[in-house]
Each structure stands twice: as structure tokens, then as C-alpha cells.
């Protein structure tokens, strides 16, 4: 179990010591990109865009400048978007010697690697524009979020910097039809009072970051300025509408446009808290907010701005979901649980002798490790490399690219493998330009389930495959976009998936391979997860993506079995019901020492039992439970309240939810934790 403390630990790479003009400890406006299992942070700096790298998100190495443009200085708020083999950096800078910050104009620079060096390609605007974030729209096309002054700069009531969104024709070209997304609505967003001498106060909304969770869209932003006590991170939300661009959705601040309720802001230890990005942790489950802040110095006392010296440092805290609300327990300045590692991970960067670790089983092929990549070099026959570890419910990541060949290429990952007569693979076909599920049962090939990739898809570039398997149910995302859902016919009853890497008559490269034991209950996985559920009281049914219990006058109770009882794990439950008017009880049970049959109720006489009555004083319809069992420690959070923190040395086998009224489980997610 790893821990971390803010600000994040930073060492300086030897090559970065050649630069004498940056402060390695100060890294404002951090934007973090995950690529091939590694992390790259890009930050604001005077003489260039600085870059840091990490493999665990805890220990970072400062690598100097990733981008410098001749004749320019003051590089603000860089963000990097990876697409089809190229890295696009969006950043603002201004000519050297120009004192007016309003000459900061957004530009785009391009590189073939995440570390650069990036080269200037195009200036996107000829007016003040900052804080870009380029994302995938609901249809897979691109959208740029950015901040400017012109839209509401002459507003009568609340003039100021706002966030706009514009669709993009390609990574270098805006459509030119921006929509207003987030604007000033609060006095706490006032950056400068009576700025123009006519009584109007100037407001600031900037630092946009977009993310989606289930059927909701979110744009996080920073309000005010880091030199002011009300500086904060907030967020705006919009309900998903099928077929609608995020630029056309109806956005509203949380909790509303008139209430100042920061997601993150200064506390007694940290000030200047803001401008964030969000990135998935190494296990591909957790979300983490990376932001800047600076230590408050009690001896000096608090003053606006805290002096002229740049002291904003890179920090992080977990982003947790309370139903549709966001919660970040921070800004933290004490020891916290670090981002969880996957159950298995291979970055192919520790094999000096070019050999594979003992975690793999090779069936055929010529596999070689070099510089963070694994290459299968042979173009003869079918080659498979199988991972020995597996779970019944799993999340498997592999980053893959093709070695171009005139004969075409078929390559990807193994989903399950019993023998050469019985297996399933997810493969990219460079000739047919598809991605599909290929299965063999009893030596007979089943018809492939394949879909076409985008027209400009480059098979020679790295692409991320993220595959979730729950029993026979499989979902596939390609570069973050869901592309395929299928039923695994080749996975026989009682068998575990068997993940691995595969090529057919072609050479290919692999990097950033990981496996996490993970269960996520939704509409597609519901039937496959019934073996982990037992209704105890009331009438239960699946309705949409939820598990609904009707009390029929006797209350409701349901038992959920831990699919990872042999390991440390954590659980998130989103619950819906008359929770302010009923008693909700949680009972945890360990596995009986004499119990050997998986997912059967423990013997009460031998099992350890713990009961928790959840608070009911607050009238509410929705709540979230977070349970964590790791290193012989049990913690239970009820929304933002820590209810239980005690020793639990036994295996956590199952829990029972017992409610005196109707109860709905909106989300149920269980994840293996690293030991």
C-alpha cells in the first residue's frame, strides 16, 4: 500500500539541469496526459513549456522544456491532445518584451513523442485566448474549450473572462462557431473591482477541463484568480442528449448559478488552489484531479498574492463520485492513499537482457523488449503471448501499433485461450480497416464481429485498447471511444478469461499493458453479475442500469458477494431511496475458514460479522458508500463522512444492504487494490 503527500515529489533529470531559467518546484496549471501507461505533465513557465514524467503519479521527474518558440515568452496553461500518432500542444504565449498579458494568443505545436520537442505549427487566434482543452465530442469529432474576454467583456452587469466551446474540423482548425459554456455569475468570481472606473467589476472564469460520467457531462473550471482568497475550482454540468454536440447542451453551474460552493479552494494549509486537469490512475478505474496550490506560510501571514515569487506547486487528490456530484477530499497536505496500481502492469522498461518476465507464457513468435516497447518480429504464422494472471471480471489495457507490411496485418489482444482449438481475440485488421472479435470453438472459426475504424485511422500509430470482461460480456473502447460490445462464445462456463497479445502473419508493437480486477454493474453486465447477488427481502428487478428493490411492507435486503475475496479491494455503491426517512443497515461478513465454494454464504458460526447503521438525520434521496479493505484495515465512507476505520484481518466475503423502505442500487463497482 503506497502513500503520497502534497506537493508531489519532483526530481530533476540530468539533462534538465542545463536549463537555468526555471524553478523545478513551481509548476502552475498542470495538464497531465496518460500515454502507453506513463504520465506526462505540462506546466506554465516563463521561457518554455515545462514537462514532467512519472510512472506511478507519485514520483515525478522534471525534464526541462518540451516547447519553446523563438521570440516568445510566458507560456501559459499548456494542454496536450494525442491523436493518431501525433501530439498536439495548445498553449498561449506572447512576444518577448510585451508587458501586456492580453497579447497571450493560443497556438498549436506538434511532436511525434509526448516529451517533444514540440514545433510551432499555427497560431489559432489573433486576440487574447488562453486555457485550451481539446476533447472528443459525442460523435467522436473534436471540440476545443478555451477562455477569452471578448464575449462578455462589455457586459453591463458581469463583464469578464468566460469559457467558450467550438467544434474543430481537425486538430489544427476551428470551425469558427463558438458557444458560450460557462460565464461569471458570482461576486466571488470578481477579479478586480471597478476595473474601468465606471463601476463595473471584472470577473474571471478560466481553466476548463471536460469529462463525462455515465449520462452527465462536466466542465470543471477555475473562478477568480490564484492571488485572491476566493479563487476556486467549480464545475458546470449538462445532461447527455443523444446525437447532440456538447457545444449545444444546456450547461449550468453546480449547484446553481447563484451559489458559491467550491469543489476545491484554499484552506488553512494551502492557498491558490485551482487550474486542474483530470486523469485516470494506473488501474484505469480511479480519477485523479491534478491542480496547483502553494503552501501558506503562517509566520508571514496571509496576503493577497503571497509575494511576487512563483510558488504554485503540482498537487493531486482523488476525484470521487457521489451520484452525479463530484467530491474532491482536498486540498490535502497530509499523507493519503496513493493512486492504486493495477493487479498487473508491464511497461517493458526494466528488461535489460531483452527477455520477458515470468508473468508471461509464450506459445509462438519472436518477442523482444526494448525501450519501453515489446515487439513481435515474425511475419510467419500466428503468435500469442499469454498473461498468467486473470480475474472473472477484469479490465485489460494494451497499447498497440502495427509494423507496416505490404501483406497487411492482423494483430491485437487475446481475450480467452484454452488451446489452439478454443480461443477468442480482439484484432485490428489493417487491410480491411476494422476492429473485431474473432473466436474459434472446437477448431471452427465463428463469424467475426467487426466494425470499421475512422477513415484517418493510422494502424502504424499507437492506439489504446481497453477491454472490460464480466463473465461472457465484453465491452471494448478504442482510444477512449466505445466501439464494440459482444458476448464471448468461446469463454466456457467456469473458465476465467485468459488475456494476452496476438499477431497473425505480421509484426506489431505493444506497450503499457495492464490488468485490474474490476466489477462494474450496468445494463450490459447485469445478467453476468447475477452470481454475485442474492435478494433477501422485497421484490428485486433490473430496471435500466439500476438494481431496484420494492419493500412490499417488509423492507428490502440484498446480499452482494465480493468477486475478489482473496485480495484487498474497494467498493463504491450509489444508492437511491427514501434515505432520510428509513434505517439503512450495512452488514459485512468474512469468509468462513471451512468454506471453499466460491460465492456461497459464509457459515455464521465461523464468519466475522460487522453491522453498521447508516445516518438518517439528513433527509435525502441519494447517497454513496465507499468501502475500502486493504492492509488489514477497513474504512467505510457515507458520502463525505468517515463512519468506520478499524482493523479487519479476515477476507471480506460479502455485504448485506438492509433497508426499511424501497431501495435502488444505481451503481455498483468493486475493484482489486494492490497489496
Higher pLDDT, 430 or 356: 430
Interior angle at CA 118, CA 86 and CA 346, nearest 5:
55
Characterize 233-258 residue by residue with b for buried, 16 or more Cβ atoms within 10 angstroms of its Cβ, and e for exposed.
Answer: bbbbbbeeeeebebbebebebbeeee
Q: Are 312 and 76 in contact (CB under 8 A)?
A: no
Residue 379, pLDDT score: 94
Q: Is residue 666 within 8 Å of 606, Cβ to Cβ?
A: no
**β-pairing verdict for 59-67 and 9-12:** parallel
pLDDT of residue 448 exceeding 60, the answer is: yes
**Which three cell numbers mark 180?**
458560450
| Pairwise CA distance, residues 542 & 345, whole Å | 35
pLDDT surpasses 60 at 299: no
pLDDT (tens digit per residue) in 624-661:
999 999 988 999 998 999 999 999 988 899 999 988 88
- pLDDT, average across residues 320-339: 95
673 has which bridge partners?
none
pLDDT band per the 50, 70, 90 thresholds, residue 603: very low
Identify the burial level of 654 via C-beta atoms within 10 angstroms of its C-beta, where 0-12 means exposed, 13-18 middle and 19 or more buried: buried
Distance of alpha carbon 291 from alpha carbon 266, whole angstroms = 12
For the ranges 28-37, 300-309, 493-502, 542-551, the lowest mean pLDDT is seen at 300-309
Q: Give, in order, the Cα–Cα distances in Å from 512 to each of 283, 314, 348.
A: 11, 24, 8
Could you read off the pLDDT of 25-66 as tens digits, one per residue?
899 999 999 999 999 999 999 999 999 999 999 999 999 999
Instruction: Please give the full DSSP string across 528-549, using - where no structure is assigned.
Output: GGGGGEEEEESEEEEETTEEEE
Does 597 or 138 have the greater pLDDT score? Answer: 138
Distance CA 672, CA 378 (A): 36
CB-count burial class (<10 Å; 0-12, 13-18, 19+) for 125: middle
Q: Looking at residue 204, what DSSP letter applies?
A: E
Angle at 551 between CA 550 and CA 557, to 5 degrees: 95
Structure confidence by residue, pLDDT tens digits, 378-432: 999 999 999 999 999 999 999 999 999 999 999 999 999 999 999 999 999 999 9
- What is the average pLDDT across 114-129? 97
List, for residues 230-242, the tens digit of each pLDDT value: 999 999 999 999 9
- The CA-atom distances, in angstroms, between 549 and each of 168, 209, 246 are 45, 37, 34
Poorest-confidence range of 13-22, 86-95, 460-469? 13-22
* pLDDT class of 18 with cuts at 50, 70, 90: confident
Beta partners for 665? 547, 575
What region, left, alpha or beta, does residue 169 occupy, with left being phi > 0 and alpha being psi -120 to 50 degrees?
alpha
For residue 234, give the C-alpha cell: 467549480
Q: If pLDDT is split at 50, 70 and 90, which confidence band does 351 have?
A: low
Q: What is the distance between the alpha carbons of residues 450 and 433, in angstroms, rounded to a whole number?
A: 10
Amino acid at each position: 500500500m503506497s502513500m503520497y503527500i502534497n506537493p508531489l515529489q519532483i526530481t530533476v533529470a540530468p539533462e534538465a539541469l542545463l536549463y537555468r531559467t526555471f524553478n523545478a518546484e513551481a509548476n502552475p496549471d498542470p495538464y497531465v496526459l496518460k500515454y502507453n501507461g506513463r504520465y506526462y505533465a505540462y506546466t506554465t513557465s516563463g521561457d518554455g513549456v515545462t514537462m514532467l514524467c512519472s510512472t506511478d503519479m507519485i514520483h515525478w521527474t522534471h525534464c526541462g522544456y518540451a516547447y519553446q518558440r523563438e521570440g516568445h515568452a510566458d507560456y501559459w496553461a499548456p494542454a496536450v491532445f494525442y491523436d493518431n500518432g501525433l501530439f498536439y500542444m495548445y498553449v498561449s504565449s506572447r512576444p518577448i518584451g510585451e508587458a501586456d498579458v492580453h497579447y497571450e494568443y493560443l497556438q498549436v505545436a506538434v511532436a511525434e513523442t509526448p516529451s517533444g520537442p514540440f514545433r510551432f505549427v499555427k497560431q489559432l487566434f489573433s486576440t487574447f485566448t488562453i486555457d485550451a482543452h481539446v476533447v472528443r465530442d459525442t460523435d467522436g469529432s473534436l471540440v476545443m474549450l478555451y477562455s477569452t474576454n471578448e464575449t462578455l467583456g462589455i457586459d453591463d452587469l458581469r463583464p469578464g473572462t468566460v469559457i467558450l466551446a467550438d467544434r474543430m474540423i481537425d486538430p489544427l482548425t476551428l470551425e469558427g462557431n463558438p458557444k458560450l459554456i460557462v460565464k461569471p455569475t458570482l461576486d466571488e468570481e470578481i477579479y478586480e473591482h471597478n476595473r474601468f472606473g465606471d463601476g463595473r467589476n471584472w470577473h474571471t472564469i478560466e481553466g476548463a477541463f471536460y469529462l463525462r460520467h455515465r449520462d452527465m457531462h462536466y466542465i470543471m473550471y477555475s473562478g477568480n484568480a490564484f492571488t485572491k482568497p476566493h479563487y476556486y475550482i467549480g464545475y458546470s454540468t449538462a445532461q447527455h442528449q443523444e446525437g447532440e454536440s456538447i457545444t449545444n447542451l444546456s450547461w449550468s453551474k453546480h449547484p446553481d448559478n447563484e451559489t458559491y460552493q467550491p469543489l476545491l479552494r484554499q484552506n488553512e494549509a494551502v492557498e491558490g488552489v485551482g487550474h486542474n486537469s483530470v486523469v485516470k490512475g494506473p488501474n484505469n478505474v480511479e480519477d485523479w484531479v491534478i491542480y496547483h496550490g502553494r503552501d501558506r506560510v503562517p509566520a508571514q501571514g496571509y496576503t493577497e498574492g503571497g509575494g511576487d515569487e512563483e510558488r504554485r506547486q503540482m498537487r493531486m487528490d482523488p476525484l470521487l463520485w457521489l451520484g452525479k456530484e463530484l467530491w474532491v477530499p482536498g486540498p490535502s497536505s497530509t499523507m493519503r492513499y496513493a493512486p492504486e496500481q493495477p493487479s498487473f502492469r508491464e511497461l517493458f522498461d526494466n528488461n535489460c537482457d531483452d527477455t520477458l518476465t515470468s508473468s508471461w507464457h509464450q506459445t509462438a513468435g519472436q518477442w523482444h523488449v526494448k525501450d519501453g516497447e515489446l515487439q513481435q518480429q515474425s511475419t510467419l504464422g500466428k503468435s500469442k503471448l499469454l498473461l498468467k494472471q486473470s480475474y472473472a471480471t477484469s479490465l485489460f489495457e494494451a497499447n498497440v501499433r502495427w509494423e507496416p507490411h505490404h501483406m497487411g496485418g492482423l494483430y491485437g489482444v487475446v481475450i480467452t485461450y484454452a488451446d489452439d482449438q478454443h480461443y477468442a481475440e480482439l484484432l485490428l485488421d489493417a487491410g480491411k480497416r476494422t476492429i473485431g472479435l474473432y473466436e474459434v470453438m472446437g477448431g471452427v472459426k465463428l463469424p467475426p464481429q467487426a466494425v470499421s475504424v475512422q477513415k484517418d485511422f493510422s494502424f502504424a500509430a499507437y492506439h489504446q485498447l481497453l477491454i472490460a470482461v464480466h463473465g461472457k460480456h465484453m465491452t471494448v473502447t478504442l482510444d477512449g471511444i466505445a466501439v464494440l460490445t459482444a458476448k464471448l462464445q468461446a469463454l466456457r462456463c467456469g473458465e476465467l478469461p485468459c488475456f494476452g497479445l496476438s499477431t497473425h502473419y505480421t509484426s506489431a508493437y505493444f506497450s503499457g499493458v495492464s490488468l485490474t480486477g474490476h466489477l462494474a454493474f450496468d445494463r450490459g453486465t447485469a445478467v453476468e453479475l447475477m452470481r454475485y447477488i442474492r435478494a433477501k427481502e422485497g421484490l428485486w428487478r433490473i430496471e435500466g442500469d439500476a438494481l431496484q428493490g420494492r419493500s412490499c411492507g417488509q423492507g428490502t435486503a440484498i446480499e452482494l458477494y465480493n468477486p475478489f475475496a482473496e485480495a484487498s479491494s474497494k467498493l463504491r455503491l450509489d444508492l437511491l431511496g427514501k434515505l432520510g426517512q428509513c434505517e439503512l443497515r450495512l452488514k459485512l461478513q468474512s469468509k468462513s475458514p471451512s468454506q471453499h465454494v466460491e460465492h456461497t454464504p459464509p457459515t455464521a458460526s465461523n464468519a466475522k460479522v460487522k453491522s453498521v447503521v447508516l445516518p438518517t438525520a439528513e433527509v435525502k434521496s441519494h447517497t454513496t458508500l465507499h468501502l475500502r479493505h486493504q492492509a488489514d484495515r477497513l474504512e467505510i465512507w457515507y458520502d463525505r463522512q468517515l463512519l468506520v476505520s478499524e482493523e479487519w484481518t479476515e477476507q471480506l466475503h460479502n455485504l448485506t444492504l438492509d433497508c426499511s423502505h424501497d431501495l435502488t442500487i444505481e451503481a455498483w463497482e468493486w475493484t482489486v487494490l494492490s497489496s
